Structure 1
Amino acid sequence: MSLALLEQFPEYTHSAADDLESVFWVLLWLCTHYQEGGEKVTNERSLEKYRTWQHMNLIAFRDKLGIISKGKAFNSVLEDFDPYYFPLRNVVTELRRLFFPYGSTDTTLRPIEQELYDRVINCLRVGVGV
């Protein structure tokens, strides 16, 4: 779920950019929680820091914000990727730059929705070699 939606729910008006941002969060989740072949990662200790992401509240917002705004925290997430997903680290890093320019959650710094959509699609195509 997008940070803006988590922070301002229920007053926030959902947008297409929120759906695009969800691609980023789902990709992070999959790369840190699943292994090759779809098996769940068994190291519960390394997964504990992601536990709050399952909820729609300000704790999830705070935890996600910490990962986005701090380079070291984001790098630790990339290190948590299952080795099978290591090739996607560049894709996730680029998506982070698109959705959170300069480590900021200020949505006014993002490209307009159509441009954001085009950039996300291009990023994913390049990342998977299409």
Structure 2
Amino acid sequence: MQSILIIALSLHVLSSVFWAGSSFTLARTGGLGGEKLLVPQIGAATVAIVTGATLWQLVHEGSFGRSEQILAGGAIAALAAIAVQIIVGGGAIRQMRNGAGDQSAGRSRLAVAHRIAATLLTITALCMGAARYA
């Protein structure tokens, strides 16, 4: 079990760092390059979510104390972040690729999606840190 825990934790940290870091960068640059990063971000988010669920099962299964409640709040924020990126960001990318409407409006929607996702992922990271000491 120890090796599974180490592998899951390593994959969780690596995928989360990429997902959050690219979201923060895209939020700061107004979504510039977001079309190229959507699929890798969804992949990283999927790995982060699956490994997070694995870690929950290995470490926190059977209890729902203060620490688990804080982690659950972070998990909800992470799920909301990926939903925003897929729904709002993906829609903006489709709009820009199809040439439907104003390109600047699509770019603006993409930037807003990443700003919202970055805020939610900040909450997620704070929850992961705080849960350790709750």
TM-score range, shorter chain: 0.3 to 0.5
More helix per residue: 1 or 2?
A: 2
- TM-score, with structure 1 as normaliser: 0.33
Structure number with larger C-alpha Rg: 2
Higher relative contact order (CA 8 A, sep 6+): 2
Q: Normalising by structure 2, report the TM-score.
A: 0.33
